[in-house]
């Protein structure tokens, strides 16, 4: 079998000093999708429900208590609101989620699985709004996206679509059918956000040729899916289907008429969307773009679509096809790595202390989290890539051109120098081993670092990490 050592970075995070080189790289990568890996993080992993309760407590106390109590004292209100932020972990939980996520990437036994988890979390992105990064995005990716990675794409679309995070992100609770039992006597009407993103970003893409009328009809299908509002929980209640807000009658989407069937209408439409040829090609292309090259060819994409058709959309089979395509084109393609992936590869390969120790991540809700506890978040912010805070619903870009500004490259240079002080092994023989394990042309990297001061490790490390060999895989 051909050996492409950059493959370990192309589909995962590279091999660490103590990791053996797999005898069969393809089998090593493809075998990581039979089960959902358990989290190895030994610290607190709060449930999605727990996080919604914290979020609800923050909203309720702010809106219903503090604003009324201190409506005539802005200074006191500001001070009490800061106490509330601390009490509800507003500035802690995102850092905790990043520690959980990064611990798996660096120390977990299934790094290829983790790379695909990052992909799907970004595909079904929750953008930065309404305190969702602080309380919802991490749990959503852990409890909705991750478990569905061994199911079908249809399962994942369905569960992501009706999740609390997505429904709140895209304002579907505000969408009311104009001819619904409630809507007839109300000024409230539909909100197209969720329906539009389901079609455009999550399934068929504009290549399917749907129209504005299709978006409206899809919106009608989705009316009624909302959070269960209450005086105490406000918008953090469980998701339910409110038939009184649901638009009645049949709906026609992309030429097919769906009979009125309340909550089942959405699932019936999703089944057709995920089986549409445009959806299969869109998702296959996006996967190949993420793992292989910005502009994948038909030769790369078609095997993924074939695997999809043969397996009825089984994600493990789709993933295996992507991995095989990535392996087969490793000698001709190199993919630019986004900042988070790049830093995680450095951390796994060189073994530096990127993730805070679990015992140091205990939070007592009596003061702001420490700089140590928030170090991952702070460093990713410096790199311009906070994975739980994309600015748009389409997530973070996979195109190299969007990450090549001089400012972003300079930030990587600075970060690499900074990381050289994070407990990286400074033994030259170990550096040699790391390079030989993870790069196709190690001799060229050795030539690069030979030019650096032998006694100044940070220069060597920064040179390796900011070379084109490391920036791309």
| 424 pLDDT more than 70 | no
Local confidence band at 165 (pLDDT 50, 70, 90 cut-offs): very high
Assigned token pair, 111: 């790094």
What is the structure's pLDDT at 46? 98
Residue 71 makes CB contacts below 8 A (sequence gap 6+) with 77
| 423 pLDDT more than 70 | no
Q: Is residue 165 part of a domain?
A: no
The predicted-structure confidence for 49-65, as pLDDT tens digits, reads as follows 999 999 999 999 999 99
Q: Is residue 441 part of a domain?
A: yes
| 426 pLDDT more than 70 | no
| 3 pLDDT more than 70 | no
Cα dihedral 139, 143, 149, 152, rounded to 10, equals -130
The predicted-structure confidence for 186-221, as pLDDT tens digits, reads as follows 999 999 999 999 999 999 999 999 999 999 999 999
- Domains identified in the chain, total number: 1
What is the structure's pLDDT at 362? 97
Assigned token pair, 4: 């492409």
What is the structure's pLDDT at 90? 98
Q: Is residue 297 part of a domain?
A: no
Q: Is residue 454 part of a domain?
A: yes
Backbone angles phi, psi at 429, to 5 degrees: -65, -30
What is the structure's pLDDT at 468? 93
What is the structure's pLDDT at 4? 84
Give alpha helix (H) positions in 240-362: 264-274, 277-291, 298-311, 315-328, 339-350
Ramachandran quadrant class, 351 (left: phi over 0; alpha: psi -120 to 50; beta: rest): left
Give alpha helix (H) positions in 71-110: 74-87, 93-107
Tell me how far apart the alpha carbons of residues 30 and 322 are, in angstroms, rounded to a whole number.
Answer: 9
The predicted-structure confidence for 265-311, as pLDDT tens digits, reads as follows 999 999 999 999 999 999 999 999 999 999 999 999 999 999 999 99
Report the 10 Å Cβ neighbour count for 111.
Answer: 27
The predicted-structure confidence for 107-148, as pLDDT tens digits, reads as follows 999 999 999 999 999 999 999 999 999 999 999 999 999 999
Q: Is residue 410 part of a domain?
A: yes
What is the structure's pLDDT at 96? 99
Residue 218 makes CB contacts below 8 A (sequence gap 6+) with 195, 196, 198, 199, 251, 253, 269
Overall average pLDDT of the 400-413 stretch: 94
Report the 10 Å Cβ neighbour count for 211.
Answer: 10
Overall average pLDDT of the 225-246 stretch: 96
Local confidence band at 158 (pLDDT 50, 70, 90 cut-offs): very high
Q: Provide the strand spans (E) within 164-286.
A: 225-227, 239-241, 251-253, 256-258
Closest to 95 measured CA to CA, from 44, 144, 130, 55: 44
Between 447 and 171, the higher pLDDT residue:
171
Q: Is residue 7 part of a domain?
A: no
Local confidence band at 427 (pLDDT 50, 70, 90 cut-offs): low
Planar angle of CA 315, 240, 159, nearest 5 degrees = 5
Tell me how far apart the alpha carbons of residues 152 and 141 are, in angstroms, rounded to a whole number.
Answer: 16
The predicted-structure confidence for 238-274, as pLDDT tens digits, reads as follows 999 999 999 999 999 999 999 999 999 999 999 999 9
Determine what percent of the chain is predicted with pLDDT higher than 90: 90
Local confidence band at 352 (pLDDT 50, 70, 90 cut-offs): confident
Q: Is residue 423 part of a domain?
A: yes
User: 419 is in which domain, residue-wise?
Assistant: 339-471
Q: Concatenate the DSSP letters of all residues of 255-282 into one string.
A: TEEE---TTHHHHHHHHHHHTSHHHHHH
3-state secondary structure of 219: helix
**133-144 in b/e burial notation, b at 16+ Cβ within 10 A?**
bbbbbbbbbbbb
Q: Is residue 111 part of a domain?
A: no
The predicted-structure confidence for 387-398, as pLDDT tens digits, reads as follows 999 999 999 999
The predicted-structure confidence for 312-337, as pLDDT tens digits, reads as follows 999 999 999 999 999 999 999 999 99
């Amino acid at each position: 079998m051909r050996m492409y050592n950059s493959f370990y970075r192309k589909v995962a995070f590279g091999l660490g000093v103590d990791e053996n080189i797999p005898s069969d790289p393809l089998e090593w990568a493809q075998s990581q999708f039979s089960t959902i890996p358990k989290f190895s993080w030994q610290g607190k992993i709060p449930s999605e429900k727990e996080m919604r309760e914290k979020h609800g407590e923050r909203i309720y106390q702010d809106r219903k208590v503090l604003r009324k109590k201190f409506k005539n004292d802005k200074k006191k209100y500001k001070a009490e609101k800061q106490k509330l932020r601390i009490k509800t972990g507003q500035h802690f939980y995102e850092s905790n989620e990043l520690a959980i996520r990064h611990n798996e990437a660096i120390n977990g036994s299934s790094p290829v699985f983790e790379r695909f988890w990052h992909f799907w979390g970004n595909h079904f992105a929750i953008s930065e709004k309404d305190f969702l990064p602080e309380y919802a995005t991490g749990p959503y990716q852990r409890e909705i996206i991750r478990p569905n990675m061994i199911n079908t794409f249809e399962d994942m679309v369905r569960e992501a679509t009706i999740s609390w995070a997505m429904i709140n992100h895209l304002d579907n609770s505000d969408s009311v059918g104009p001819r619904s039992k409630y809507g007839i006597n109300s000024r409230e009407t539909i909100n197209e956000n969720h329906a539009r993103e389901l079609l455009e970003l999550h399934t068929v893409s504009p290549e399917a040729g749907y129209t504005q009328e299709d978006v409206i009809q899809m919106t009608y299908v989705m009316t009624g899916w909302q959070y269960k509002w209450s005086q105490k929980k406000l918008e953090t209640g469980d998701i339910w289907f409110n038939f009184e807000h649901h638009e009645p009658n049949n709906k026609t989407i992309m030429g097919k008429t769906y009979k009125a069937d309340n909550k089942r209408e959405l699932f019936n439409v999703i089944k057709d969307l995920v089986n549409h040829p445009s959806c299969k090609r869109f998702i296959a292309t996006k996967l190949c773009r993420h793992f292989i090259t910005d502009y994948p060819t038909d030769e790369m994409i078609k095997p993924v679509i074939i695997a999809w058709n043969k397996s009825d959309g089984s994600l493990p089979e789709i993933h295996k096809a992507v991995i095989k395509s990535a392996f087969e084109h490793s000698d001709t393609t190199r993919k630019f790595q986004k900042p988070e992936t790049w830093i995680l590869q450095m951390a796994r390969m060189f073994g530096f202390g990127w993730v805070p120790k679990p015992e140091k991540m205990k939070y007592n809700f009596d003061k702001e989290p420490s700089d140590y506890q928030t170090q991952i978040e702070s460093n990713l912010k410096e790199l311009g890539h906070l994975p739980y805070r994309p600015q748009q619903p389409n997530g973070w870009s996979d195109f190299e051109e969007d990450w090549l500004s001089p400012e972003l490259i300079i930030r990587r240079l600075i970060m690499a120098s900074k990381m050289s002080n994070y407990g990286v092994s400074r033994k030259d023989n170990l550096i040699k081993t790391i390079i030989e394990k993870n790069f196709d042309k190690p001799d060229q990297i050795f030539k690069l670092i030979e030019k650096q001061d032998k006694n100044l490790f940070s220069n060597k490390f920064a040179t390796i990490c900011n070379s084109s060999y490391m920036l791309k895989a």
